[in-house]
Amino acid sequence: MLKLDLGIVNFTKGSVKKKLIERSVFNTLKILGVKGSVEVSVVFVGDKKMQTLNRAFRKKDRSTDVLSFGFEESRRPKILKDASLNLGEIVISLPYAKRQAKKEKKSIDSELALLASHGTIHIFGIDHERSEKESKETDNIQKKVLNILF
């Protein structure tokens, strides 16, 4: 059984449906086959903070939609026993997500659910940029999550 302890912090003036983010992260972990107790943090920031983080950690001097900071020992754990394992932190730029949703003609809710799922996949240790196999795996998981939520 999966037990999720999710911390959500919103440093922006925009509103976020916390239950939707929780369901997105939970369903992503469930699809990944995780069992046990896990902790995940999701932080919503503005473009300036996201640009600072992207520059510091990826050497890209621009904002982006989502960054993930997974802990190395949390990579691809299927069954977690005893204590809760902190998988990591997902940072989402709310203004970037809003622009992206508008550009792609979809709701902000579906965009945020997608980004929360995407970040969860990354902190779990799957990287769509590493291989075609992991790119397909990422796409398949995200589609399943969105189908569950919407």
Provide the domain limits for residue 140: 2-149
pLDDT attached to residue 8: 98
Answer for the pair 96, 103: CB distance below 8 angstroms, yes or no.
no
pLDDT attached to residue 9: 97
From CA 110, how far away is CA 63, in angstroms rounded? 20
Query: In a structure prediction context, what are the per-residue pLDDT tens digits for the chain, which is 150 residues long?
Result: 889 999 999 999 999 999 999 999 999 999 998 888 889 999 999 999 999 999 999 999 999 999 999 875 555 555 555 456 788 999 999 999 999 999 999 999 999 999 999 999 999 888 777 788 888 999 999 999 999 999
Tokens of 91: 């940072």
CA distances from 30 to 4, 17, 67, 103, 111 (A): 10, 20, 21, 30, 20
Other beta carbons within 10 Å of 84: 13
Task: Please give the tally of structural domains in the chain.
Answer: 1
How far, rounded to the nearest angstrom, does the alpha carbon of residue 61 sit from its chain's CA centroid? 21
pLDDT attached to residue 34: 85
CATH number reported for the structural domain that contains residue 14 in this entry: 3.40.390.30
From CA 150, how far away is CA 138, in angstroms rounded? 18
pLDDT attached to residue 76: 55
Q: Give exposure, 11-45, as e/b (b: 16+ Cβ within 10 Å).
A: ebeeebeeebbbbbbbbbbbbbebebbbbbbbbbb
pLDDT attached to residue 83: 52
Question: Parallel, antiparallel, or unpaired for β 2-10 and 85-93?
Answer: unpaired
From CA 130, how far away is CA 41, in angstroms rounded? 24
pLDDT attached to residue 15: 95
pLDDT attached to residue 112: 98
